[in-house]
Amino acid sequence: HRSSPRRRRSMSRRYDSRTTIFSPEGRLYQVEYAMEAISHAGTAVGILSSEGVVLAAEKKLTSKLLEPSKSSEKMYMIDEHVACAVAGITADANILVNYARQAAQRYQYTYQEPMPVEQLVQALCDTKQGYTQYGGLRPFGVSVLYAGWDKQHGYQLYCSDPSGNYGGWMATSIGASTQAAQSIMKQDYKAGEMTLKDALQLAVKVLAKTCDSTSLTADKLDIATVTMRDGHVSYTPLPEASTQKLLDAVQAEASTGDA
Protein backbone atom coordinates (compact mmCIF):
# COMPACT_ATOMS: atom_id res chain seq x y z
CA HIS A 1 0.00 0.00 0.00
CA ARG A 2 1.08 3.56 -0.64
CA SER A 3 2.14 5.75 2.27
CA SER A 4 0.23 9.01 2.78
CA PRO A 5 1.85 12.37 1.84
CA ARG A 6 1.96 13.33 5.55
CA ARG A 7 3.81 10.12 6.39
CA ARG A 8 6.24 10.65 3.50
CA ARG A 9 6.96 14.18 4.75
CA SER A 10 7.65 12.96 8.28
CA MET A 11 9.91 10.25 6.86
CA SER A 12 11.86 12.82 4.83
CA ARG A 13 12.35 14.88 7.99
CA ARG A 14 14.06 11.95 9.66
CA TYR A 15 16.75 12.00 6.99
CA ASP A 16 17.41 15.73 6.67
CA SER A 17 19.19 16.32 9.99
CA ARG A 18 22.55 14.98 8.78
CA THR A 19 24.47 15.29 5.55
CA THR A 20 25.77 11.74 5.81
CA ILE A 21 22.44 9.90 5.66
CA PHE A 22 20.68 9.01 2.41
CA SER A 23 16.87 9.11 2.37
CA PRO A 24 15.01 6.01 1.08
CA GLU A 25 14.67 7.78 -2.29
CA GLY A 26 18.46 8.13 -2.44
CA ARG A 27 18.60 11.87 -1.71
CA LEU A 28 20.88 13.93 0.51
CA TYR A 29 18.52 16.57 1.84
CA GLN A 30 21.13 18.85 3.46
CA VAL A 31 22.96 19.20 0.13
CA GLU A 32 19.66 20.02 -1.58
CA TYR A 33 18.90 22.62 1.10
CA ALA A 34 22.32 24.21 0.50
CA MET A 35 21.44 24.52 -3.20
CA GLU A 36 18.10 26.05 -2.21
CA ALA A 37 19.92 28.70 -0.14
CA ILE A 38 21.97 29.63 -3.22
CA SER A 39 18.82 30.06 -5.33
CA HIS A 40 17.96 33.13 -3.21
CA ALA A 41 21.38 34.79 -3.67
CA GLY A 42 22.25 37.50 -6.19
CA THR A 43 22.60 36.20 -9.76
CA ALA A 44 26.05 35.69 -11.26
CA VAL A 45 26.74 34.80 -14.91
CA GLY A 46 29.82 33.60 -16.77
CA ILE A 47 30.26 33.77 -20.54
CA LEU A 48 33.11 32.34 -22.62
CA SER A 49 34.27 34.20 -25.75
CA SER A 50 37.11 33.79 -28.23
CA GLU A 51 38.93 36.77 -26.64
CA GLY A 52 38.40 36.03 -22.96
CA VAL A 53 35.90 35.17 -20.22
CA VAL A 54 33.32 37.53 -18.73
CA LEU A 55 32.04 37.26 -15.14
CA ALA A 56 29.13 39.48 -14.10
CA ALA A 57 27.11 39.54 -10.88
CA GLU A 58 24.25 41.41 -9.28
CA LYS A 59 25.12 43.05 -5.95
CA LYS A 60 22.26 42.82 -3.46
CA LEU A 61 22.16 45.87 -1.20
CA THR A 62 20.43 44.84 2.03
CA SER A 63 20.22 48.38 3.43
CA LYS A 64 20.75 51.94 2.18
CA LEU A 65 22.66 52.66 5.39
CA LEU A 66 25.35 50.08 4.64
CA GLU A 67 28.62 51.57 3.49
CA PRO A 68 29.62 50.02 0.12
CA SER A 69 32.38 47.47 0.59
CA LYS A 70 35.84 48.49 -0.62
CA SER A 71 36.33 45.17 -2.41
CA SER A 72 33.80 43.09 -4.32
CA GLU A 73 31.79 40.51 -2.39
CA LYS A 74 30.94 38.60 -5.57
CA MET A 75 34.24 38.53 -7.52
CA TYR A 76 37.58 37.18 -6.35
CA MET A 77 40.96 36.81 -8.01
CA ILE A 78 42.36 33.37 -7.13
CA ASP A 79 45.63 33.58 -9.05
CA GLU A 80 46.96 35.71 -11.91
CA HIS A 81 45.28 33.39 -14.42
CA VAL A 82 42.06 32.44 -12.55
CA ALA A 83 39.17 34.44 -11.08
CA CYS A 84 35.79 33.46 -9.70
CA ALA A 85 32.29 34.77 -9.04
CA VAL A 86 30.23 33.39 -6.15
CA ALA A 87 26.57 33.10 -5.17
CA GLY A 88 25.44 32.10 -1.70
CA ILE A 89 26.82 32.67 1.79
CA THR A 90 29.71 35.12 1.49
CA ALA A 91 31.46 33.89 4.64
CA ASP A 92 31.53 30.34 3.21
CA ALA A 93 32.86 31.72 -0.08
CA ASN A 94 35.77 33.44 1.72
CA ILE A 95 36.90 30.10 3.16
CA LEU A 96 36.81 28.40 -0.24
CA VAL A 97 38.56 31.29 -2.00
CA ASN A 98 41.38 31.25 0.57
CA TYR A 99 41.73 27.48 0.09
CA ALA A 100 41.87 27.91 -3.71
CA ARG A 101 44.49 30.67 -3.43
CA GLN A 102 46.69 28.49 -1.23
CA ALA A 103 46.33 25.51 -3.60
CA ALA A 104 47.32 27.71 -6.58
CA GLN A 105 50.37 29.08 -4.75
CA ARG A 106 51.50 25.63 -3.57
CA TYR A 107 51.36 24.38 -7.15
CA GLN A 108 53.29 27.46 -8.39
CA TYR A 109 55.93 26.96 -5.68
CA THR A 110 56.31 23.23 -6.42
CA TYR A 111 56.28 23.25 -10.24
CA GLN A 112 57.26 26.85 -11.07
CA GLU A 113 54.27 27.30 -13.40
CA PRO A 114 50.61 28.29 -12.99
CA MET A 115 48.18 25.56 -11.89
CA PRO A 116 45.96 24.24 -14.72
CA VAL A 117 42.48 25.70 -14.28
CA GLU A 118 40.55 22.41 -14.16
CA GLN A 119 43.02 20.94 -11.66
CA LEU A 120 42.38 23.92 -9.37
CA VAL A 121 38.60 23.54 -9.74
CA GLN A 122 38.88 19.82 -9.00
CA ALA A 123 40.95 20.45 -5.85
CA LEU A 124 38.31 22.86 -4.55
CA CYS A 125 35.46 20.50 -5.43
CA ASP A 126 37.17 17.62 -3.60
CA THR A 127 37.08 19.80 -0.47
CA LYS A 128 33.42 20.66 -1.04
CA GLN A 129 32.57 16.98 -1.51
CA GLY A 130 34.28 16.09 1.78
CA TYR A 131 31.82 18.34 3.60
CA THR A 132 28.91 16.19 2.36
CA GLN A 133 30.36 12.89 3.57
CA TYR A 134 31.64 13.36 7.13
CA GLY A 135 29.50 13.66 10.25
CA GLY A 136 29.29 16.99 12.07
CA LEU A 137 30.00 19.06 8.95
CA ARG A 138 27.55 21.00 6.80
CA PRO A 139 27.97 21.60 3.07
CA PHE A 140 29.32 24.98 1.89
CA GLY A 141 26.34 27.14 0.93
CA VAL A 142 28.10 28.46 -2.17
CA SER A 143 28.10 27.91 -5.91
CA VAL A 144 31.15 29.19 -7.79
CA LEU A 145 31.87 30.25 -11.38
CA TYR A 146 35.56 29.95 -12.33
CA ALA A 147 37.07 31.86 -15.27
CA GLY A 148 40.65 31.23 -16.31
CA TRP A 149 43.27 30.58 -18.97
CA ASP A 150 46.01 27.97 -19.17
CA LYS A 151 48.38 26.80 -21.91
CA GLN A 152 46.70 23.36 -22.10
CA HIS A 153 43.13 24.45 -22.93
CA GLY A 154 43.11 28.25 -23.35
CA TYR A 155 40.10 30.13 -21.95
CA GLN A 156 37.83 28.08 -19.69
CA LEU A 157 34.66 28.54 -17.66
CA TYR A 158 33.58 26.13 -14.93
CA CYS A 159 30.70 26.01 -12.46
CA SER A 160 30.55 24.05 -9.19
CA ASP A 161 27.83 23.53 -6.57
CA PRO A 162 27.75 22.47 -2.86
CA SER A 163 27.76 18.75 -3.73
CA GLY A 164 31.26 19.04 -5.23
CA ASN A 165 30.03 18.50 -8.80
CA TYR A 166 31.56 20.73 -11.45
CA GLY A 167 31.29 21.12 -15.20
CA GLY A 168 32.76 23.15 -18.06
CA TRP A 169 30.41 25.66 -19.71
CA MET A 170 30.29 28.13 -22.60
CA ALA A 171 27.74 30.26 -20.73
CA THR A 172 26.00 29.62 -17.41
CA SER A 173 24.57 31.28 -14.32
CA ILE A 174 24.22 30.68 -10.57
CA GLY A 175 22.04 32.23 -7.88
CA ALA A 176 18.49 33.54 -8.31
CA SER A 177 16.60 33.39 -11.64
CA THR A 178 18.99 30.78 -13.04
CA GLN A 179 16.41 29.22 -15.37
CA ALA A 180 15.43 32.58 -16.88
CA ALA A 181 19.11 33.51 -17.33
CA GLN A 182 19.92 30.15 -18.96
CA SER A 183 17.06 30.46 -21.45
CA ILE A 184 18.21 33.96 -22.54
CA MET A 185 21.78 32.68 -22.99
CA LYS A 186 20.61 29.62 -24.95
CA GLN A 187 18.86 31.96 -27.38
CA ASP A 188 21.56 34.62 -27.72
CA TYR A 189 24.86 32.76 -27.26
CA LYS A 190 26.58 32.02 -30.58
CA ALA A 191 29.23 29.35 -30.10
CA GLY A 192 32.55 30.19 -31.75
CA GLU A 193 31.38 33.66 -32.81
CA MET A 194 31.33 35.59 -29.51
CA THR A 195 33.78 38.47 -29.12
CA LEU A 196 34.54 39.91 -25.69
CA LYS A 197 32.23 42.86 -26.45
CA ASP A 198 29.39 40.48 -27.39
CA ALA A 199 29.93 38.51 -24.18
CA LEU A 200 29.87 41.69 -22.05
CA GLN A 201 26.65 42.87 -23.70
CA LEU A 202 25.00 39.48 -23.25
CA ALA A 203 26.03 39.33 -19.57
CA VAL A 204 24.51 42.77 -18.89
CA LYS A 205 21.38 41.87 -20.87
CA VAL A 206 20.88 38.71 -18.80
CA LEU A 207 21.29 40.56 -15.50
CA ALA A 208 19.04 43.43 -16.66
CA LYS A 209 16.24 40.95 -17.47
CA THR A 210 16.62 38.74 -14.39
CA CYS A 211 17.48 41.36 -11.75
CA ASP A 212 15.07 41.83 -8.82
CA SER A 213 15.22 45.62 -8.76
CA THR A 214 13.01 47.56 -11.16
CA SER A 215 15.72 50.01 -12.22
CA LEU A 216 19.15 48.43 -12.64
CA THR A 217 22.06 50.83 -12.18
CA ALA A 218 25.82 50.39 -12.68
CA ASP A 219 26.51 50.42 -8.92
CA LYS A 220 24.38 47.27 -8.53
CA LEU A 221 26.57 45.30 -10.97
CA ASP A 222 30.00 43.73 -10.62
CA ILE A 223 31.66 42.88 -13.95
CA ALA A 224 35.16 41.53 -14.59
CA THR A 225 37.04 39.99 -17.52
CA VAL A 226 39.86 37.47 -17.84
CA THR A 227 41.81 38.26 -21.03
CA MET A 228 45.31 38.16 -22.51
CA ARG A 229 47.39 41.35 -22.53
CA ASP A 230 50.94 41.46 -23.90
CA GLY A 231 51.28 37.70 -23.49
CA HIS A 232 50.07 37.72 -19.86
CA VAL A 233 46.69 36.76 -18.43
CA SER A 234 44.93 39.83 -17.04
CA TYR A 235 42.02 39.96 -14.58
CA THR A 236 40.26 43.31 -15.04
CA PRO A 237 37.26 44.54 -13.02
CA LEU A 238 35.20 46.93 -15.17
CA PRO A 239 34.96 50.53 -13.90
CA GLU A 240 31.47 51.87 -13.15
CA ALA A 241 31.55 54.22 -16.18
CA SER A 242 32.15 51.31 -18.59
CA THR A 243 29.39 49.29 -16.90
CA GLN A 244 26.98 52.22 -17.28
CA LYS A 245 27.79 52.45 -21.02
CA LEU A 246 26.99 48.75 -21.47
CA LEU A 247 23.79 49.15 -19.46
CA ASP A 248 22.69 52.14 -21.54
CA ALA A 249 23.32 50.20 -24.78
CA VAL A 250 21.31 47.20 -23.54
CA GLN A 251 18.43 49.41 -22.35
CA ALA A 252 18.40 51.29 -25.67
CA GLU A 253 18.28 47.98 -27.55
CA ALA A 254 15.43 46.78 -25.33
CA SER A 255 13.39 49.96 -25.87
CA THR A 256 13.81 49.79 -29.69
CA GLY A 257 12.85 46.11 -29.55
CA ASP A 258 9.66 46.95 -27.60
CA ALA A 259 8.80 49.75 -30.04
pLDDT tens figures, 23-33: 888 888 899 99
Residue 155 has pLDDT above 80, yes or no: yes
Query: What does the mean pLDDT of the chain come to?
Result: 90
Nearest to 57 by CA among 156, 144, 140: 144
DSSP state of 3: P
φ and ψ at residue 46, rounded to 5 degrees:
-130, 135
β-partners of residue 142 are: 88
> Which residues in the chain belong to E strands, given as ranges?
44-49, 52-58, 75-79, 82-88, 142-150, 154-160, 166-168, 171-174, 221-229, 232-237
The pLDDT-based confidence of 7 (bands split at 50, 70, 90) is: low
Instruction: Quick: pLDDT tens for 80-106.
Output: 999 999 999 999 999 999 999 999 999
Confirm if 132 and 97 have CB atoms less than 8 A apart. no
Residue 11 has pLDDT above 60, yes or no: no
DSSP state of 152: T
Quote the crossing angle between the two packed helices 240-258 and 196-210, to the nearest 10°: 70
Position 73 scores a pLDDT of: 85
Position 217 scores a pLDDT of: 84
**Lowest mean pLDDT, pick from 57-71, 101-115, 119-133:** 57-71
Position 219 scores a pLDDT of: 86
Instruction: Quick: pLDDT tens for 187-222.
Output: 999 988 999 999 999 999 999 998 866 678 888 899
Position 6 scores a pLDDT of: 61
The pLDDT-based confidence of 59 (bands split at 50, 70, 90) is: confident
Rounded to two decimals, the pTM is 0.91
